[in-house]
Homo-oligomer: A and B are copies of this chain.
Amino acid sequence: MIELSPIGRVRTPITATSEAPRQGSNDDIEGTIELESEYEAGLAGIEAGDSLIVVWFAHEADRTLLRLDRIEGRGVFASRSPARPNPIVLTTVEVLAMDGSTLTVRGVDMVDKSPVLDLKVPLD
């Protein structure tokens, strides 16, 4: 068993899973990433305009589902659905502004208050 402690949470205008946009259709939704202040040093070098991958935990997701009925029995590992045994979701956002350990970003699709596990830069 692996234990992870969230580094912060995301604040978004999305209050229910049913309201969450499909990935790729969320380009205009703004939110904030509130890191715990102890992690602020880890943000050094991030600037407005940068792309960041938010690694977050879909705490409301169905962790028992292995096939998605809506796409002809496709397996969850062949999808981007939040439903999966370990519901770790990746969302790429654009940084709009930074203030201490809080980042204002565009492109969120998380339900409000979702736990954030990690931030990293895209490979390209």
Interface residues of A (CB under 8 A from B): 1-7, 23-24, 39, 41-46, 50, 52-53, 55, 57, 59, 66-67, 71, 73-80, 84-86, 88, 90, 92, 115, 117-121, 123
Contact = CB atoms under 8 A, between A and B. Distances in A.
A44 B75 contact: yes
A84 B117 CA distance: 10
Contacts of A80: 120-121, 123
Contacts of A119: 77
A119 B66 CA distance: 12
Given A78-B45, A88-B88, A2 B3 contact: yes
Contacts of A90: 53, 55, 90, 120
Contact of A77 (B42, B57, B85, B92): B42
Contact of A42 (B41, B59, B85, B115): B85
